[in-house]
Structure 1
Amino acid sequence: MTAVEGKVVFDKGRYLVADTPIVGMSLQDMRKYEERQVKIQGVERESGEIEVYKISVKTDTGYQTTYDWDIVDQTYYGPGL
């Protein structure tokens, strides 16, 4: 797992955090994080992009996780569904 921390910016048709391209979520889903300070954890691809597994947004008291692929996976694609 790799983590990047910084402000989410939209540039040339893609979202970046700390100049690192973020993939694995739609542009519409990423739009709600635009210009916010975040910590993104995921898998780094050979191309240098980070595939999102978890997003935490900076708050006054620290970071609050707002997206976690493991929870999404279990909720929507888990066994028996």
Structure 2
Amino acid sequence: KLIADKSVKNHLLKDLKNISKKGNDDENLSECSLFLIDTNGYDMKEIYFDDENSRGNEGEFELVNIHINELIENYSLSIDQIGIITL
């Protein structure tokens, strides 16, 4: 279970000083406290590596990459302000 520290539990992207939404799409990620992408049921195959403990998924990587680029381009975030949690 992931629990945010009380010092940041109510923080949103829109609360950061450098955030300014560019573009006019209806989706506003700056007001989203957590953005989840459920890829279950899509044809995104796992890649297993030789060490048997590591694996990857190129389809999921591409989805994450799209959203990272959106945060950088449309919200003026820098890469060090973005965190990714995978399961």
Asked if Structure 1 and Structure 2 have the same fold, meaning a TM-score greater than 0.5 normalized by the shorter chain, the answer is no
**Higher helix fraction (1 or 2):** 2
Higher relative contact order structure (alpha carbons within 8 Å, sequence separation ≥ 6): 2
Give the TM-score of the pair, scaled to structure 1.
0.25
**Higher strand fraction (1 or 2):** 1
Give the TM-score of the pair, scaled to structure 2.
0.24
